[in-house]
Amino acid sequence: MENCLFCKIIKGEIPASKIYEDDDFICILDINPVSKGHFLCISKEHFETLEDASDDVLHKILLVIKQLIPKLKEELGIEGFNILQNNHKISGQEVPHLHVHIIPRYSDDDADIKLIRTSDEHAKDFDAISQKFLN
C-alpha cells in the first residue's frame, strides 16, 4: 500500500531494527519503546485492522510471537510480557496496518500498562448485554 509506513519498512524503503522475518511477517523493534525489547509483529500483507485480516494471518501471528518469547527471555531476561493490539484511531492506532505490540516486562521496569476504570458506570446491564449476543 502506497504511503503506508509499515509497507515501506517491509519493502526496505525505510530502515528498521528487524528481529524476525518470514514469508508472512516482519518483527521490528518499536522506535518509541515502552520497555527494552518492545517490538511489533507486522503482517506483510496490508490489512488496516484485525477485522480486515485474513484468518490465516490471524492464526499465524500469535504463533510467531510465541516462538520469539524464549529468545527474549534468553537474550534480554524478560520476566513477562504484555500484548497490545490497537484497532482504529479511537483505540490509539497510529499506523493503519495490522500489527501487534509485544511489550517485555521486567521487575524493575517503569512501564505503566493498566486497565484503568474511572467509574462504575459500565459495571451494569451485564445480563442485557449478554442476551444481545446469545439471542
- Mapped onto helix, strand or coil, the DSSP state of residue 21 is strand
Whole-angstrom distance, CA of residue 80 vs CA of residue 84? 14
Q: Determine contact, residues 77/38, Cβ cutoff 8 Å.
A: no
Catalytic residue among 38, 46, 88, 99: 99
Range in contact with ligand AMP (rule: CB under 6 A) among 18-26, 60-68, 91-99, 116-124:
91-99
**Cα–Cα distance list, 88 to 20, 54, 55 (Å):** 26, 17, 19
95 binds ligand AMP (CB under 6 A): yes
- Mapped onto helix, strand or coil, the DSSP state of residue 75 is helix
Q: Determine contact, residues 39/102, Cβ cutoff 8 Å.
A: yes
Range in contact with ligand AMP (rule: CB under 6 A) among 75-83, 86-94, 117-125, 126-134:
86-94
Residues 25-54 that bind ligand AMP (CB under 6 A): 28, 30-32, 40
- Mapped onto helix, strand or coil, the DSSP state of residue 91 is helix
Nearest to ligand AMP of 14, 129 (CB atom):
14
Q: Mark whether 99 is an active-site residue.
A: yes
93 binds ligand AMP (CB under 6 A): yes
The residues assigned a catalytic role are 99
Residues forming the site for ligand AMP (CB under 6 A): 5, 14, 16, 28, 30-32, 40, 86, 92-95
